[in-house]
Amino acid sequence: MMTAAKLIRAGMVVAFQQGEHRLLKNGCVVVEGDRVVHVGPEVEGSFEEILDLPDALLTPGLIDMHAHLTSASYDRSYVEDVGKPGFWFSGLPELLPAIGAAMDEEAQRAAVDYSMAELTRSGTTTVFEIGWLGDYTAAAVERAGLRAYIGEGYGSARWRTLDGKRMSYDWKPDGGMEGLEAAATFVKRIEGRAGGRIRGMLTPMQVAMATPELLQRTRAVAAELNVPVTLHTAEAVFEFHEMVQREGMTPVQWLAAQDFLDERTILGHCVFTSGNSWVRHPGDDLARLADSGASVAHCPWVFARRGIAMESFAAYLEAGITMCLGSDTAPQSILHAMRHAAIISKLQEHDCRKPTAVEVFNAATLAPARVLGRDDLGRIAPGAKADLLLWDMTGFSMVPCRDPIRNLVYYAGSEDLHHVMVDGEWLMTDKALLKIDEASARGNLARAAQRIWEAVGPGDWAGRGIDQLSPQSLKEFQ
């Protein structure tokens, strides 16, 4: 072995073999540059660095396929426990526009900087960012050492409520084409940055706010640039009804009719499909998705928090749909998403076997890598990128450990993650972040949040302040 190589010994290694994750006990992984070059039992050679951790679990880095880094952090302590039945408890009509209007660019930048620390600490090494400050986000990702696919959102319309009772749609004269061209220019600007860690993608944001012409042009540009496409689909009951009333089809049926669904397409959420108990609409959405090759980025927590569940993650898998996981909201943790995806699906299925821990772990590793066309991500194998996580197996959450994937999915916390590597570089060792000033990131976010909370009002249709929109849980002590 080359003397510049790193040798990592771990008591348990989730290694890739014959198309699947397998458990290698007392394994060795050798990293040269940004790649894994050896996986197996003990190996001879001279190494620049040797890490010997018999009580550690070594896994591939996790992949977050749906994130909003400029805003997700501000959901914390604002969106929980409140919602309007008339909007089927979605936060999209009132809660998010009100706080979004109160955010300035400085606050969005603070959220991005904080997100770099949160992602690293929870084991996300690749993130799929759907946002607005693309250039700033790319710079932050580069500094933090993470891997990202970044897209700047665009659409043919925007939705809003004028009276708190119904949604209206304001359509753009150009149908969103100018936004698409700006998004494509952005992709060209960042593609391949940071030694290939930063890539671009296209995101026409929301199915109910995209014209057929915008989708057709998006698909053509995506093929030209060879980038993935994602859009929010079937994420709200009011959106589902809008599409059925406007187009006579479910959101999934309508996308299929536009010939938009293929292996390049990732549908964000896709919860309200035909047969879902919230919409009681007949159809074959899951079969259409499976036949198309399109994938789904499932974000279980953002819906569970509102009393809503996908029906169910296991059913989508059984239909043959490629299922990935996303964070979407706070906390930005795929560890958190795996646990909720597994448990909520079991509740929906009334079956403790559906899905298994390894199925949700695959949704955070192998499945998104396949969707992105990256056989070098989501696995520990010779030739794969050295995006690696080392979990301490001696902590309260992880002892005892007979099956490391079950422990990881059902019990582990971010405090159990001690070392993070991306592209062969350490981003965290012994729980210390090496490229991020965490104290500054937390402080800036807290100050920005306070400023935002005080500014909430003008963005709400009724001008309500934050304590009217989201009352405090406890009355003030007198």
CA distance 150 to 141: 10
Encoded amino acid at 153, one letter:
G
pLDDT on residue 201? 98
What token pair was written down for 122? 């929870």
The position carrying tokens 């936004």 is: 179
CA neighbours closer than 13 Å in the CB half-sphere of residue 246: 17
pLDDT on residue 406? 98
What token pair was written down for 195? 């030694």
Buried b / exposed e over 258-272, threshold 16 CB at 10 Å, is bebbeebbbbbbbbb
pLDDT on residue 240? 98
Q: Is the pTM of this model over 0.95?
A: yes
Beta bridge partners of 7: 30, 50
SS3 content of the chain, % helix, strand, coil (to 5): 35, 25, 40
Residues of the chain with pLDDT under 50: 1
CA distance 326 to 137: 18
Residue 453 CB: number of other CB atoms within 10 A? 17
CA distance 226 to 230: 13
What token pair was written down for 256? 């299929």
For β-strands 417-422 and 388-392, DSSP reports them as: antiparallel
pLDDT on residue 3? 58
pLDDT on residue 4? 84
Encoded amino acid at 159, one letter:
W
Residue 242 CB: number of other CB atoms within 10 A? 18
CA torsion through residues 445, 448, 453, 458, sign: negative
The answer to whether 268 and 232 have CB atoms below 8 angstroms apart is yes
pLDDT on residue 44? 87
Residue 308 CB: number of other CB atoms within 10 A? 23
- Sequence-ordered list of residues with C-beta below 8 angstroms from that of 472, at least 6 positions apart, any chain: none
CA distance 54 to 12: 8
What token pair was written down for 279? 């919409």
